[in-house]
Structure formats: C-alpha cells, structure tokens
Amino acid sequence: MSGRDGRLGVGIVGAGRVGPVIGAALAAAGHAIVGVSAGTDDERDRVEGMLPGVPQLAVPQLVERSELVVLAVPDDQLVELIAGLAALGAWQAGQLVLHTSAQHGTAVLDPARAAGAIPLAVHPALAFTGTSIDLVRLRDAWCAVTAPGPVLPIAQALVVEMGAEPVVIAEEDRPAYADAIAAASQFSTAIIDQSVAALRAIGVEQPGRVLGGVVRSAVENALQSPAVDSIDR
C-alpha cells in the first residue's frame, strides 16, 4: 500500500448505508478519512453519526485529496461517476480506487485505470443498516474481492483490516456472484415479510421477536448442511 506506514488518506464517495460504515471500519484500522460526499439531509446525518468531524466535500475535491477512493454508490450511478471524474482529469496515477458494487468487477474502473489509478472491486456480503451495528456484523462477513493479480493482496489486506474475510471472485464471475447475493437477500426478505404479516393477522404484537430465533437457527442449519460443506471443500 501507499501512504506512510501503510496508512492511507481515504475519501468516501457516497453516504448511503454502505459508505460511512466502510469509512468507519477503515478509520478503526488506522486509516485517515479525509472526507465524505453527502447529498441529502439523511446522508449528512448518517455521516455525523458514523464519522463525526469528518469533512463533507464535493466529489472532485474528495478524489483530489485521497490516496484511496471508495465509491459506495448505487450500480446505476457508478459508470457515469467514474467516467465523469475521468473527463475532469480527477483520477491520479498510483491512487487506489475501490468500488463496493456486487455486480461489477474492475472493468468498470477502466477510465480511472487509464489515468494510472489502481482498480479494486470489494463487495461486502452484508445487508447494511448504515449504523454501528454493521461494524459488528462486518467481523463475521465475507467480501468478494476482484483485482488485477499484482494488486490483489492490497484489496485482501483492506478487507482483513476492516475485520472481514476476503473471497476472490473472478472478473467474469461477478454477475453470477451478484445474482446469488440478490437471490438470498430478496428471498429472505420476502419470506420474513410474509411470516410477519401472518403473525400480525392473528394478533401477535411482536412478530419479529417470535420469528427471530427460528429464522436465525434455520439459516445457520442451512449454511452448515453437508451439501454446503461439500461445496466449500
């Protein structure tokens, strides 16, 4: 890594549920958060809660000041954002640029790479809340890592510093990975919503508490089944 003693000046682009949590995790590992971009009152409040005192900057200014730029924006904004910053000449040679999209590998970062930036794709496999709860959950999470071979250890090291575990996903396999993550998340949410509605309909006042134990144990049992273990090995 660049930076003195491996510590980096980090800029977080995006203050939804993911960006401030990633920033807080990197700050806890000793990196300096130089700024965050926030566009709404909710995002500004989230930044104040997760990264108190960190400057809220315009994106070009943030990129200019950062050794590591974390792009934590929705998929439908990522391509335009990267290309727009390239058109402004914002990307810098040797700068680390990391996005958190499940869908994309490093090809989406080609405009930054053309300017000499180092592309990293790191997706935490976690349903974020945008609160400090996520910092605890991140310690039990895995992150999909895609990067060119020579810089893959940098991406893996950043994941470990955040407290998570890295799993390498090939560039061409990112769409399949994203589909698997989306299917698990959407299916789980739909089934739980259905069960909550059914319990409320029969007068259960706190259906979440009733379902919590069975959902957690069922998921843990499914993940520890022989079929899953054999795939892991």
| CATH code assigned at 105 | 3.40.50.720
Q: What are the tens digits of pLDDT across the range 125-143?
A: 999 999 999 999 999 899 9
108 DSSP assignment:
G
Query: How many domains, in total, are found in the chain?
Result: 2
Q: Are residues 22 and 45 located together in one domain of the fold?
A: yes
Beta-strand relationship, 118-124 and 32-37: unpaired
Q: Are residues 191 and 77 in the same domain?
A: no
What are the tens digits of pLDDT across the range 167-180?
999 999 999 999 99
Whole-structure pTM value? 0.85
- DSSP per residue, 112-147: HHTTTPEEEEEEE-S---SSTHHHHHHTT-EEEEE-
- The answer on 211 and 101 residing in a single domain is no
Terminal C-alpha separation, the chain: 32
Query: In which domain, by residue range, is 80 found?
Result: 4-169
Same-domain pairing of 77 and 158: yes
Q: What letter does residue 41 receive in the DSSP assignment?
A: H
Q: Which residue has the higher pLDDT, 200 or 23?
A: 23
